[in-house]
Amino acid sequence: MTRPNIVFAFADDWGRYANAYARFERPNSLNHLIDTPNFDRIAREGALFTNAIVPAPSCTPCRSSILSGQYFWQTGLGAILQGAQWDESIPTYPLELEASGGYFIGYQYKVWSPGRALNAPYGGIRTRYQSAGINFNQFSHWVTRHAAELGVESAKKVLYDETRANFREFLEVRPEDRPFCYWWGPTNTHRTWERGSGRALWGIDPDDLRGRLPRFLPDVHEIREDAADYLGECLAVDKGLGILLDELERIDELDNTLLVVSGDHGIPGMPRAKCNLYDIGCEVTLAARWPDQIKPGRVVHDFVNLMDLAPTFCEAGQIQAPANMTARSLMPLLTSEKNGQLDATRDFVVTGRERHVAFAREKYLPYPQRAIRTADYIYIVNFEPDRWPMGDPKGVDQPNTVLPSYEDLAYDTFVAYPDIDASPTKAYMIQHREDLDVEPLFQLAFGKRPREELYDLKRDPDYLENVAELSEYSNIRGELEGRLLGILESQNDPRLMEQPCRYEFEPYAGPPQS
């Protein structure tokens, strides 16, 4: 087998939003509203994974896990967001491919951050190729600012040309006798984005989202518009994928490339999404194209933890995966000719989080959670249920309090509940938190949670009813609890194995070091 080039397109905050998934969703899902021809091509000419779950719904821990091929709690200070530091003794797949496999490696935009040293697990500044700029990361803002001067489509083209030029910069210096490993990491799907840009730049009518939002979100214009703007950013990511395909075809390397596409967690600024262990926060796109090894048009239903990509890339590059990579290579799934559930043991994913925004809670404390997701259930353990899951309310929980302004709530993450990004959705729900139809949804999103949560996804696909205390679910709850805790113990999770746990103290719980 010829060693392939390896290209990983990994978008910040891009959940499971691509048209290729529409046939697996409810008829009124958001995936039916968007056209993503480039992602869909990769899926059509390769394999589409329908149960891809992130190891942590927070970017630095998730990326630490993916790069090192192990659970986020096994990455030292890489397990937190603000205050993260990379442990240089931990092997990562790109540096292993470079050192042991002779791969030429590079990236543009974001790989691993926030954290010190910037993008260290990918070689830092040494392997960065983005001299054409990083304006793509502010896609809707940049295009909106320049639309009057250039026109919308011409302004978009400037950003497409930027990402193309950055990729060409890398391709032009690569040694032709060596395979390459490349990371394309746009962050435009991370907030903020231009309000109204979904309609203005992409023609997405917010009112077309009526009846399509998850039931834990108020179905009002402000929130529909917010989601429409996010979908526009997803379409920009898809345009970027088309550029990668074009450039690989131009140099006649597309069919000698393992091209994998995914995102690091779900939508930001939406309740129960990013920084939560529910599906909207943890399910992501995943497709892979590699003509020599992946039969076109395959659909894989096995549960996949994205950390499995690290040993997969090592195996594709024909190097031995380091012993620290506790994840499992996806190569048997990629090279199979079958569809559906291929490996009976891949019937779950374990995910979790510790600390996201350092200042979210008093004394810099985390909100520790672990979860197991199976085909039918989500089971979550909240280890410190007395803490606020979305961060301290900063007075919002008090009756008759003077609320922050709509603008502050929409654009300043830290004025209340700092573990959910500022957004128009956050602003609407806080300001309408006492409305009869919003109050129960507000409590689901921002209120404190019990130690255990269990959701029956067949009956309750929007995970609204916690059935952990219902007697008819006691056997399921006990089985999932035992399975989850057994995995955490076998993988030496400090949250289980240390008393007291390191995450409760500095440097894991403390102000980020400058």
pLDDT in tens, 410-458: 999 999 999 999 999 999 999 999 999 999 999 999 999 999 999 999 9
pLDDT, tens digit, for every residue of 443-454? Answer: 999 999 999 999
Q: Quote the Cα angle for 233-238-241, to 5°.
A: 135
Contacts of 498 (CB under 8 A, 6+ apart): none
Distance of CA 185 to CAs 148, 249, 413, 512, Å?
28, 20, 23, 24
pLDDT of residue 405: 93
Residue of 97, 51, 58, 92 whose CA lies nearest to 75: 92
pLDDT, tens digit, for every residue of 381-398? Answer: 999 999 999 999 999 988
CATH 1.10.40.30 fits 5-347, yes or no: no
- pTM > 0.85: yes or no: yes
Distance of CA 34 to CAs 118, 157, 193, 220, 514, Å?
34, 20, 18, 20, 41
Q: Where in the chain is the domain with CATH 3.40.720.10?
A: 5-347
The proportion of the chain whose per-residue pLDDT surpasses 90, expressed as a percent, equals 96
pLDDT, tens digit, for every residue of 183-203? Answer: 999 999 999 999 999 999 999
Over 90: is that where the pLDDT of 400 sits? Answer: no
